[in-house]
A and B are shown apart, each in its own frame.
Chain A
Amino acid sequence: GQQVMQIPQYQHVQEGEDFTTYCNSSTTLSNIQWYKQRPGGHPVFLIQLVKSGEVKKQKRLTFQFGEAKKNSSLHITATQTTDVGTYFCAGRESGGSNYKLTFGKGTLLTVNP
């Protein structure tokens, strides 16, 4: 079945440093979503990418979808303590059900103030 790999598993940075997490799928995706889960909280939707090579920005966050639609990345510029949490990617397999997303295991980001 479809697998979504996410690296790194953990990342610790000093406040102000940049951070990137990468997501790779074993199959071509029709779209990819990113969620953030704060410690002790629940996942919250950040963004969805649909087009090959798509790049979207949300303030200090930049999301990319690969040309082959099999990988994606999330980059945070100048991290802040409010960025702490686990970032998950979730992909829908090309031709798959709208209702079935496969989640990566997430990247836990900690920020030292």
Chain B
Amino acid sequence: DGGITQSPKYLFRKEGQNVTLSCEQNLNHDAMYWYRQDPGQGLRLIYYSQIVNDFQKGDIAEGYSVSREKKESFPLTVTSAQKNPTAFYLCASSIWRLTGANVLTFGAGSRLTVL
């Protein structure tokens, strides 16, 4: 079955440590995204990538980094510079649509807790 796989599902990190969240898709989608979700909040865009070897900052990119070396993969690194990293992180992908905005397919998410 086609879909998006995020790992790990749960992650605990000590303050000052970097952590990398994995996102892999087999939908053959060109675009991939990372969103952050906090309790009672909407989804906020961290980074997105339209094509391999290219990515753009979203609304809350500070303290995060990404890479897009393969079409299928878009890992997110939460660095020690991110002041409040505890959150639910959602990876998504989409095809480009001629009308409207791209429709997002989400992974199951990774829940990061900083101890």
> Which chain A residues have a beta carbon within 8 Å of chain B's beta carbons?
1, 4, 6, 9, 30-31, 33, 35, 41-45, 48, 50, 88, 90, 92, 98-101, 103-106
> Could you show 19 A-B contacts with beta carbons less than 8 Å apart?
A9-B40, A31-B99, A42-B107, A42-B108, A43-B43, A44-B106, A45-B103, A45-B104, A45-B105, A48-B103, A50-B100, A92-B100, A99-B31, A99-B94, A99-B102, A100-B45, A101-B45, A103-B43, A106-B42
CB distance from A97 to the nearest CB of B (A): 8
* Interface contact A31-B101, CB-CB below 8 Å: yes
CB distance from A31 to the nearest CB of B (A): 4
Q: How large is the interface on B (under 10, 10 to 19, 20 to 34, 35 or more residues)?
A: 20 to 34
Which of B42, B94, B97, B107 is the one whose CB lies under 8 Å from A88?
A: B42
Contact among B42, B105, B107, B108 for A104, CB-based, below 8 A: B42
> How far does the alpha carbon of A101 sit from the alpha carbon of B90 in the complex, in Å?
14
Q: A42-B90, A105-B41 are in contact. List 11 more A-B contacts (CB 8 A).
A: A30-B100, A33-B104, A43-B106, A44-B106, A45-B105, A88-B43, A92-B101, A99-B33, A100-B58, A101-B104, A104-B42
